[in-house]
Amino acid sequence: MNHEHVRDHIYVDGAWIPSHGSRTIDVVDPTTEQPIGRVPDGTPKDVDAAVRAARRAFPDWSRTPAETRARYLREVADGLERRAPELAALIAREVGTPIAFARMAQVGLAVLTFRTAAEVGGSYSYERREANSLIVREGVGVVGAITPWNYPLHQAAAKVAYALAAGSTVVLKPSEVAPLSAWVLAEAIDEAGVPAGVFNLVSGTGPVVGEAIAGHRDVDLVSFTGSTAVGRRISKVAADTVKRVTLELGGKSPTVLLADADPAAVVPRAVAGAFLNNGQTCCALTRLLVPRALKHRVERMAKAGAEATVIGDPSQPTTQLGPLVSHTQRERVRGHVEHAVEQGATLLCGGTQPPEGLSHGYFVRPTVLTDVTPAMDVHHDEVFGPVLVIEAYDDEDHAVRLANDTDYGLAAAVWSADPARALAVARRIRAGQVEVNGAPFNPRAPFGGYGQSGNGREHGVFGLEEFLETKSIQL
């Protein structure tokens, strides 16, 4: 068995040490279905050692000037940037992300997050007067960061960078499915000279390491990104110690194409947006809501766009769609598609058969379903694969009702020839981020969701404040 990326140690208190456990977890390349590395299968003892180190480091780190903390973060960003080609290739292999998107988003956004957190945290006003009180914002304490496999470095950066900027210390548990980039992050933090114990890395499974972090009495806040089901479990475990919990969970996000919008401008963007990172994006815009009069035209364009998507080896620069991350994920997505057709959805293209010439690897054809209604599970359930559904609406009010007919509320998009009209509809949609006419991502804007998409926000000032406590000193 060939393991190219063997990681035998965890990172605790500024040193690489063996896990208390003897077992390991294989990391599988979803393109070849072969192991490419392994990491320690950590234990609650590992978590306890990491938490104790973070607790010891917290007083000095929280008193370190904010601009000094920001300088460390910029050093980490520089270290990640120096290793960007290596990181992009690594994430393409462990997640299946097409290499071009891995460079831009998986690595580029992570570097940008560290730089933005340095800027936000270094310039934030941590004290202000309110009548006879001094209002002080200070680090919350020890943060347990539990991150997903779909954006393994970027999601770690969103938590680690802002927690450290706020003066909090961190114990990070990366997903056991795609953990390897977390070791590069730990190396960059170590090389930047971040004091011992400020950042700690423990690998392992959710039911063991994740629950040990969520339930640890000396962890002050748990920040989790992942599925809604696991988010519920973490909330329950964390409740015993009444710690703060922030959650960034699932989504079933709509693109609303208003009647005056140009489908030729919108539909290709909608197809590409639904298939980002092979459809494995929590905020992917996976429901395309269209006026009934435009439905057939939109269907033709969506089918053409999906069928033109280049699917294959994620290491190739022309690839637009790689494999799903695991066999389990592929079977789950296929099951969603089969069930949708059984419930009456029309399969425009794609489906459950392997793509031509790709008998190996966890590939799913780019799929478009139409005639989808709120009576179908695929209207409500997060598929987390390259599957776009088309739903017809009768008027603007109906479009808003369909957009909001979900337990989630993470993201949305609105397109109109009239920006004021698009903004008016955007205001009516219950979602944490709404994109108007293809406006770009803003790394300083708060990211998070309504409903079962979670609690709390990441990025920018709001993301920093999640890792702060509030004290009032009466004078």
Asked if residues 287 and 391 have their Cβ atoms less than 8 Å apart, the reply is yes
Strand spans (E) along 158-315: 169-173, 199-201, 221-225, 244-248, 253-257, 285-291
Q: What are the C-alpha distances in Å from 164 to residues 225, 242, 471? A: 18, 22, 19
Residue 458 DSSP code: B
Amino acid at 8: D
C-alpha dihedral over 131, 137, 141, 147, to 10 degrees?
A: 140
Q: Which burial class, exposed, middle or buried, applies to 395 when counting CB atoms under 10 A from its CB (0-12, 13-18, 19+)?
A: exposed
Catalytic residues: 248, 282
Side-chain-facing half-sphere of 218: CA atoms under 13 Å = 15
Spell out the residues 6+ positions from residue 140 whose beta carbon is closer than 8 angstroms to its own: 166, 168, 220, 221, 244, 467, 468, 469
Spell out the residues 6+ positions from residue 365 whose beta carbon is closer than 8 angstroms to its own: 311, 349, 350, 351, 352, 353, 354, 355, 386
Q: Which burial class, exposed, middle or buried, applies to 24 when counting CB atoms under 10 A from its CB (0-12, 13-18, 19+)?
A: middle
